[in-house]
Structure 1
């Protein structure tokens, strides 16, 4: 198969090898000597060396993570699933991070252009964090109810995600990838067996959520499987011979190998893993769990904040937002206390759509009204559009209330703003404006689509993401809606407060679950007491925090950081402060760790003052 990876010159490759390999005592006549390579290094700029290294790193990551390559639009590995849980993979991942950290440290960062200094800082940060993560046995818990390789493969196989199904080769590639997935299913059970022996296992309730997800995939015949979807929509221009051959191959693989494999995985979770699942709901119940959780908190927030400090920030924010909510209650003239107001907003029919399509149509209309305001606040906007779609039926019961999927890098597919229409009582009308701002424009859609469209930066920077930056920006986008005049309706403003309350409660509940010994039930009750959220949403949220500890901390911490950066810039620049310019600075270098973003804004303020 012809590879189409990023172009890296032969001279650059030799330079990098010279930076990382020991000197040879002798060399054949037809090779570049160490002395020649060393001389070439001196003649190259730090910028050239860094760009070559970064491109090489990205190419190596794509080869190691073939599904990731597909998602970023590189189709050279579409027939591969990847090593994932194998010992060889774990070794290669470690060697990759160690090698490139060493190469990066050999570069004189002070000689890089300022924009690449930010990229360099980001690169070093990533390699350190990746190596720290290796200290913990995450591979003993290879899936949970929120992040499931099974569900991801169903989405890829649907033909509506990143995996292409346009040519016969595309279809054959998917057969190869599916075969690799079947091997992964077997290895996942081996890793979970190791987890059982090491007492690194999922909480019981999360295992109970996984079993019905697997049950949903266990159909009688291949043609009933969601993995058969590509055959149900074969392109018309395929020959009859190709159609017949592909149908036969897909049917055989699904019927004879995939379905038995998934059945075995379901039985494993039910009969073997569930009896050994842990009773504790938080990470504290794992070996070195509190230390592991602090590391995860650092990684997700891209800060070094102690979890106790994060917990206290959460308590303070919850108190502040409750006070704001009570002001709205008084403004609309509601007779009753805040708890009664919550109950009314969560139950009165006037606050909900009667059918699923009405909810989707409502968001499409909201998209148009928001888009009219965006040019007043942004110089840079994404070229890609986004569409609004309901969450697929096979995952709606356990999926979040809403989510965003980035557009195809080549522009062939728009971004997708997914709305979960499973429970209309969990999708109040008063929460629509803030949710659209967060998930679509100018939230995730702006940040992620613009990042993918950037030029002049290393490729890894276009696709690397930090939850604190991305979710912090999305929550900042909700705040920006106030200035955009989108919350004049007090009920919509209450929706904004309600969503902000969710992010504040996360600081309390996530740290409570994983560091302070809270139970699932205690976390659920805390969220019931402090918000009007539907109980189904609260349960899904708490179980999400149990599955991916620390991730939920990033939203509020990221937003507070961006708001502080803006406030400090406004204070220092005074009349010179330009909001559009500030947003340009945030959005036009991709996703950055908070410390790196702070450095960038400080440089921008300095340059603006000098004008």
Structure 2
């Protein structure tokens, strides 16, 4: 997968970002405190605590709340970025850390023990993260509430536009966005003063994202889309009123806000952005990057160790690519083979429609083969869609969005059709496995459907688990009867190479002083990726330090656990049951997953 666009509540709830609404409850634990007080056992106390924690955490993440179906948050936006709201969040997490510590862990088993271990770790890591001023870097070209908001306003995302109330809710949410955006600009000005700013190439990519919404008439705006699809059962008066309200919202509030931010970026922020790219160049940046590694991978590995692992993997995969080159009878060296794969029209589709149709066909083929290795499948289906035009230029090649928990919306496998030369035919099977079945769609949808999981786990997640699983799922291709065409197998190697190069580049940028150009040159030399895709990937690693490490390191750990189980259980090893054990308890930090799997093995022996 080329970006981790999965709607996981942990991204908002456990990230120490600013709160969710303009008015945050000053005593969030008071409303349901009696839940814990009436519990009589450690397990009951924990159940009450994690339920309370999840419900109250939603106040800090109203956009995620909308994704998972909590409609009462549909009129709220992320609270302004300011010291008061950050202090409020810090107090919230400290309070729950203290309350969790008061529960006797020794009396917990099963799911209760897992929930305790997960929440204990997450709270400690979240609190640790407050020492780093990430609020000074609130947005980048890859992510940020500004992009989520635009998706919501397009009427093509999770924001519902079914009732009059839905339409009015979005107006209030949009007003909250305007307030939040103003506070973001204040934070970015503080970042300039403190030397914590985006690298120039990233700041420059932000500008068109805001300029796109500076229009001369409401009808030209993305945010007019809901008006173009007003439900037929609305009365004429309701349609007229909403149309006028949205015109005023767009022209009097949103366009000025986007114009103001565009001017700030162009005249102030971009000229003051930095020439360096790594976190190690920021104040306390070395420690900050080490934290990012720990947060994203859940493992205790140094940047140097990860860099070396990456170099070894890149070399190994290059040798396998050479074997494919020889199998297909290509005369020339590997570099010439890469050029052939980049430039030859036979490897690419002519239209976006052909590309989407091809992925839909692969979906049918894979869905029929999944039962070979799995005895559980999600109830929710998924659909294949093209990435929306407004974000396609900056978006990565593919991504996944989870289904609505209530079944009202399927999972979405997004394919970026902006540059067809970045979407070779030989990636069809491996990318579909990764993003959809049995990759992200299986893991995320199943996690939401397991009734026994508390909601903070059902809608939480870890990049290393999700991406590690999806990359491990790719490795199952041959066992599923795929990759029979040597070019499709090359596609698998190409995707694996991408993830191996990430280990080298992420650590190179943020710990070893690599430049953006060094990263581009390295990827072009070691893969057949299109230049535009390489640039997008490089700038992604610069924007998201540590995130790209999760794929390979997570895959290694899951494969290591499979090998351990196979050796320990011998003839008793059942691959279907192993996959169930990996998935059935939802996403786990790798050390907790390892301990859980080893407990399971002990019970089988």
Deviation at 1:354, TM superposition (A): 1.2
Shift of 1:72: 1.4
Alpha-carbon distance in 2 for matches of 1:290, 1:332: 46
Rounded Cα–Cα distance in structure 2 between residues aligned with 1:458 and 1:604: 21
**Residue from 484, 496, 504 that aligns with 2:492:** 496
Shift in Å at residue 510 of structure 1?
0.5
- Name the residue aligned to 1:546: 542
Question: In 2, Cα distance between the equivalents of 1:402 and 1:607?
Answer: 40
Unaligned runs of 5+ in 1: 1-8, 19-39
Distance, in Å, in 1 between the alignment partners of 2:237 and 2:591 is: 58
The reply on whether 1:507 has 2:534 as its aligned counterpart is no
Aligned to 1:183: 179
**Could you tell me which of 64, 67, 77 is aligned with 2:60?**
64
Query: 1:524 is matched with which residue: 520, 524, 527?
Result: 520
Match of 1:81 in 2: 77
Mapped to 1, the partners of 2:511 and 2:417 lie a distance apart of 34
| Counterparts of residues 362-511 of structure 1 (less than 5 Å) | 362-511=358-507
User: Residues 383-412 of structure 1: CA distance to partner in whole angstroms, max 9, x if unpaired?
Assistant: 000000111111111110000011111101
Cα deviations by residue, 1:211-238 (Å, 9 ceiling, x for unpaired) = 1111111111112110111111111111
Q: Residue 210 and residue 13 in structure 1: after superposition, are their counterparts in 2 closer, same or farther (change >3 A)? A: same
Measured in 2, the distance between the counterparts of 1:109 and 1:239 equals 58
2:233 aligned partner: 237
* Alignment correspondent of 1:597: 593
* 1:12-411 equivalent positions in 2, closer than 5 A: 13-14=33-34, 16=36, 44-411=40-407
Report the Cα distance in structure 2 between the residues aligned to 1:331 and 1:345, rounded to whole angstroms: 15
Shift of 1:84: 4.7
Which residue in the other structure is 2:3 paired with?
none
Q: Distance in 1 between matches of 2:472 and 2:41?
A: 38
Q: How far is 1:119 from its partner?
A: 1.5
- 1:93-114 Cα offsets, whole Å, 9 max, x none, are 1111111111111111221231
- Whose Rg is larger? 1
Q: Is the 8 A contact 1:426 1:534 kept in 2?
A: yes
Shift of 1:376: 1.4
Contact 1:12 1:52 (8 Å CA) reproduced: no
Note the alpha carbon deviations across 1:2-31, whole angstroms, 9 max, x for none.
xxxxxxx99973263x6xxxxxxxxxxxxx
3-state SS of 2:412 partner:
strand
Q: How far has the Cα of 1:160 moved from its partner?
A: 1.8
CA deviation vs aligned residue, 1:36-92 (integer Å, no higher than 9, x gap): xxxx56xx1111100100011001111222112111111111111131513232122
Measure, in 1, the Cα distance between the counterparts of 2:409 and 2:67: 12
Q: Are the counterparts in 2 of residues 227 and 254 from structure 1 also a CA contact under 8 Å? A: yes
Distance 1:489 1:446 in 2: 25
State the TM-score, normalized to the length of structure 2.
0.94
Does the 8 Å contact 1:116/1:457 carry over to 2?
A: no
Inter-partner Cα distance in structure 1 for 2:60 and 2:564: 42
Distance 1:116 1:134, change over 3 A: same
Displacement after TM superposition at 1:458 (Å): 1.1
Separation in 1, partners of 2:93, 2:548? 26
Distance 1:11 1:136 in 2: 31
**Contact 1:387 1:415 survives alignment (8 Å):** yes
Separation of aligned partners in 2, 1:14 and 1:385: 39
1:386–1:415 Cα contact (<8 Å) kept: yes
CA displacement at 1:485 relative to structure 2: 1.7
Cα deviation 1:184-204 (Å, max 9, x = unaligned): 111111101111111010001
Alignment deviations for residues 359-394 of structure 1 (CA, whole Å, 9 cap, x no partner) = 111001100110111011111110000000111111
What is the CA distance between 1:327 and its match in structure 2? 1.0
Q: Give the Cα–Cα distance (whole angstroms) in 2 for the partners of residues 252 and 11 of structure 1.
A: 38
SS at match of 1:76: helix
Q: TM-score, normalised by structure 1?
A: 0.93
Q: Distance in 2 between matches of 1:420 and 1:386?
A: 16
Kept in 2: contact 1:141–1:202 (CA 8 A):
yes
**Cα distance in 2 between the residues matched to 1:323 and 1:509:** 20
Residue 576 of structure 1 pairs with residue 590 of structure 2: no
Query: Is there any run of 5+ residues in structure 2 with no aligned partner, and where?
Result: 1-28
Deviation at 1:484, TM superposition (A): 1.2
Cα distance change of structure 1 residues 348 and 395 upon mapping to structure 2, 3 Å threshold: same
